[in-house]
Amino acid sequence: MDFELGEVLLVNKPLTWTSFDVVNKLRYALKKKLGNKIKVGHAGTLDPLATGLLIICTGKMTKKIDEFTGMDKEYTGSFFIGGTTATYDSELEMNATFATGHIDEPMLLTVAQSFVGDIEQMPPIYSAIKIDGSAAYIAARKGEEVVMKARHVTIKEFELTKIEMPLVHFRVVCSKGTYIRSLAYDYGKALNSGAYLAGLCRTKIGGYDVKDAKDVETWVREITG
């Protein structure tokens, strides 16, 4: 592989790693192999509590990162119904609980379909979106007020793959910029209850599939070997 000319590496990001952890690990391996610095970047952040497909570009392929980030994404995962958290996922403890006795399977399915199409979504305050040049989550963790702006996104498919309350398992195909954590929060609200993201895996980016991805250590061995 010619990493300086440019390669696209499909990585299956492990749980708790940040996207930058993956970039730094591979950049270090490449520097060790080549003996000099090389451009390395990722095409679309995955939260630490998410797993799955992360596209890493090296060398001249880093110029095409925007093309990858603009592609549709597919995710699978699960929502916890009946509670919310400040981060909209399981990073923090629940800050509120809600009734779920009125929720049945037809309601879950109908409400899911109501999100399909062009929607307006408010990103989580615990996100990497820049506000005044700094990531929103930095201010949120300091307890400072964070004002987010709604964004237009497209949910192309929203399928419930298994229902075992309080967990609802799903598959979503969506446009660039969609926050599945926000989808979880809004879904819970639309159910006249609450919900947060209990687990998430990015399975596809455009035509790229996590089934073809390798874990970080495998890539390190291939680069340095």
The residues annotated as belonging to the active site are 47
Structure tokens at 102: 């009125």
- E strands, 22-166, where? 40-42, 50-58, 73-81, 83-84, 96-97, 117-121, 130-131, 134-135, 151-164
**Do the strands 195-205 and 73-81 form a parallel or antiparallel pair, or are they unpaired?**
antiparallel
Rounded to whole angstroms, the Cα distance separating 31 from 24 reads: 10
Rounded to whole angstroms, the Cα distance separating 98 from 70 reads: 36
Rounded to whole angstroms, the Cα distance separating 211 from 174 reads: 19
Rounded to whole angstroms, the Cα distance separating 120 from 203 reads: 24
Q: Where are the alpha helices (DSSP H) in 10-142?
A: 19-34, 65-69, 105-113, 136-141
CA 215 to chain centre: 17
Instruction: Please check whether residue 3 is in contact with residue 223, taking contact to mean a CB–CB distance below 8 angstroms.
Output: yes
